Amino acid sequence: MLKFLKQVGDYAKESFQAAKYIGQGLSVTFDHMRRRPVTVQYPYEKIIPSERYRGRIHFEFDKCIACEVCVRVCPINLPVVDWEFNKAQKKKQLNHYSIDFGVCIFCGNCVEYCPTNCLSMTEEYELSAYDRHELNYDNVALGRLPEKVTLDPMVTPLREFAYLPKGVMEPHDLPKGAQRAGKRPEDILEDLKQDKAAAAPVSDDKA
């Protein structure tokens, strides 16, 4: 009998505990309702991609020497380099170049290793298409310059979290000229110069 009562008591205790936890959870969700949304309303507002954003690849046809390094370093041998040997010039001549962005993983290896720097990563990320073959960009499509978010009159550009001033969480309605937290590259350069200048007199004496 006692054992049974104890069982019932334990069960009741567990039920109360469960109810308490549900109550705690409810208070958390309720608390979340007062927080302001930080949503970026996408087609009307867009985040400015960061400097090292690895988006769609830009390709400069005239610089390419058809060395196929990009193909070799690509994890999936993706770039298609169509060239011919021009006997007169004794040079490889590039006919077509294409990258299929439906397959590319945007690792940036090709950009890194291209000896003539004819590949570069852009900030473009809107690569939706009705047909996956439309994502296979040829050298013309690859040569198009990316559209900048900041230059689009329809779009309100918003800064990314790391580019907000110290303590600010919301990219909307920033005061004009608000700087991001930490030093900017120009400032760092400036500081470096000053450090050098401070250290300079010693070396100047010797010279």
Partner 1 sequence: MESGIDLQSSAIQLLVDLGLPSALAKVLWLPLPMALMLVVATVGVLIAVWLERKISAAVQQRYGPEYAGPLGVLQPVADGLKLLFKEDIVPDRADPWLFTIGPAIVVIPVFLSYLIVPFGQNLVVTDLGIGAFLWISLSSVTPIGLLMSGYSSNNKYALIGGLRAAAQSISYEIPLALSVLAIVMMSNSLSTIDIVNQQADHGILGWNIWRQPVGFIIFWISALAETERLPFDLPEAEEELVAGYQTEYTGMKFALFYLGSYVNLILSALLFSVFYLGGWSFPIPVNTLAAWIGVSPDVAWVQVITAAIGITMVLVKTYALVFLAILLRWTTPRVRIDQLLNLGWKFLLPVSLANLLITAGLKLAFPVAFGG
Angle at 73 between CA 69 and CA 76, to 5 degrees: 120
Total number of residues binding partner 1 (CB under 8 A)? 15
Under the binding rule (CB under 8 A), the answer on residue 37 touching partner 1 is yes
Neighbouring CB atoms inside 10 A of 109's CB total: 17
Under the binding rule (CB under 8 A), the answer on residue 4 touching partner 1 is no
In the bound complex, what is the minimum distance in angstroms from residue 78's beta carbon to ligand SF4?
4
Instruction: Give 82's strand partners.
Output: 96
Under the binding rule (CB under 8 A), the answer on residue 38 touching partner 1 is yes
Q: Which two tokens stand for residue 191?
A: 């500081």
- Please return the burial class of 48, using the count of CB atoms within 10 Å of its CB with bins 0-12, 13-18 and 19+: middle
Under the binding rule (CB under 8 A), the answer on residue 189 touching partner 1 is no
The length of the chain, given as a count of residues: 207
User: Of 29-37, 65-73, 86-94, 181-189, which segment contacts partner 1 by CB under 8 A?
Assistant: 29-37
Rounded Cα gap, residues 76 and 105, in angstroms: 9
User: Among ligand SF4, partner 1, none, what binds residue 64 when CB lies within 5 to 8 Å by partner kind?
Assistant: ligand SF4
User: Of 22-30, 77-85, 123-131, 158-166, which segment contacts partner 1 by CB under 8 A?
Assistant: 22-30
In the bound complex, what is the minimum distance in angstroms from residue 14's beta carbon to partner 1?
10
Task: Output the CA–CA distances (angstroms, integers) from residue 68 to 53, 61, 78, 148, 199, in the order listed.
Answer: 24, 13, 11, 30, 47
* Complex with partner 1: residue 44 or 87, whichever CB lies closer: 44
Instruction: Kindly list the residues in this chain that would bind partner 1 in the complex (CB under 8 A).
Output: 15, 22, 25-26, 28-30, 32-33, 35-39, 41
